[in-house]
Amino acid sequence: MKQTLVYIPHFLFEGPLFWSWVVAGLAILAFLCWRFGKKEALSFLPVYVVIGLLIRFVLPALEVTDISATDPPNEEPAGLAIRGYGLMMLLALVAGLGLTMIRAKKIGIHPDRILSFAFWLVISGIVGARLFYVIQKWDQFSDAGSLWQLLSAIANMTQGGLVVYGSIIGGVIGGGLYLWRTGLPVFRVADLSAPGMALGLAIGRIGCLLNGCCYGGTCEVEQIALHFPAGSPPYLRQLETGELLGITPRPANPQPARQRTAQTVDANSLAARHGIASGESYRVDFPADKVFRAIKVRQLNFDANVLVDSDGKNIAIPISELPSVSIGVYPAQLISALNAALLAAVLWFYFPFRLRDGHVFALMLILYAITRFLLEFIRTDELGVFGTPFTISQWVSMLMMVVGFAMFALLNRYSPARPAATE
């Protein structure tokens, strides 16, 4: 896991970056005017102004803060973070689009049309992926405060928060509307896009690994288990459930959120040493992830405790006593990435042999739905819904599987057969 790859230093946003762009932009304007004339230089002027405004006002607002070593500790600007998750999303977009454009010419579709289609596909896919996540995790947004704070929280995607099924639904709606308006063959372009979508998903799952999201459940096989650092999503989740303290919570939990009952307590664990026993009801509260990283990773020394309310006993466990890494979990992100890469290969090689336009896209829906349904069993970042053990993603998987098979049946009945493979 590596959420932040590098920081663009804070001091650059205090003036050097902006004035560097002013000088460089004026040089570009002068060159364009000399080489191509005033008209070409004036066409660059809006771009020059927009980039300058972004550097001066927008980028500084996106800077992150970090815990300082002062007493008492405070937060200081750390700079603009280049996130591993965001970089992988960018690489996923480039790779998926490149794979699609490689084959576009071969089937008589100009790559420029694919670029326009991809723009609407990506925008609607990101909106759908974020809305699906917000709906799924609404409890994390409902207490945002004002409407502006809620909208800011929804728009903040720097550390993940995109759901694959939401991106597929949003992409189908946005991309479908674009194809309908432009008159491009819908099912042929859908088939063309399917391998690239799967490849993008494979790379995107590496971003999930760097971010620490979409993690698996506890893994007993140490050879394949992943251990995430203090402050990471799986670490904090295990702390919230008490697993990191040595507590095994009861699976069935009719009690209020975050209030659990200890099924067993490891005799040699932190929980046992602090007097927590089997059968007790407990709740774990802890500081934010930044504090954990400051104490456990950066080794800053200031007081902060994990508070456990166990049947009326208020227990304070110093963060310094906690493990430095999480309990080993299944490498769900890597398995998902491998699954998506194999799916991309299957769709790519099946494309020339499809019997009807639309078969490749339908096959993607079916195969991804089946594998995603199974992969959910090793993930613990989502809980069952509708009174069942199945997560929302598993319910959507079942629906998508039905849609895929129905699409196959309808295409076979109403769509004309394709000639023998020539592509």
Residue 254's pLDDT is 43
Q: Where are the alpha helices (DSSP H) in 355-420?
A: 359-375, 392-414
Average pLDDT of adjacent 10-residue blocks, the chain of 423 residues: 80 85 88 81 81 82 75 74 84 88 81 78 79 72 66 62 72 80 82 91 92 88 90 90 89 62 90 89 85 77 82 86 90 94 95 89 94 90 78 89 92 74 52
Cα–Cα nearest to 298, from 231, 386, 398, 387: 231
Interatomic CA distance for residues 322 and 331, integer angstroms: 23
Residue 343's pLDDT is 96
Helix/strand/coil for 185: coil
Interatomic CA distance for residues 103 and 92, integer angstroms: 17
Strand partners for 249:
262
Half-sphere exposure of 297 (CA within 13 A, CB side): 16
For residue 354, the Cα-to-chain-centroid distance in whole angstroms is: 32
Supply the DSSP string of 193-226, one letter for each residue: HHHHHHHHHHHHHHHHHHHT-S-B-B-S-TTT-B
Supply the DSSP string of 36-71, one letter for each residue: H-HHHHHHHHHHHHHHHHIIIIIHHHT-EEEE-SSS
Residue 226's pLDDT is 93
Residue 50's pLDDT is 84
Contact indicator for 108, 224 with CB cutoff of 8 Å: no
For residue 115 the two structure tokens come to 């670029």
**Per-state percent for the chain, helix, strand, coil, to nearest 5:** 60, 10, 30
Interatomic CA distance for residues 277 and 267, integer angstroms: 9
With vertex at residue 107, the alpha carbon angle to CA 102 and CA 108, rounded to the nearest 5 degrees, is: 100
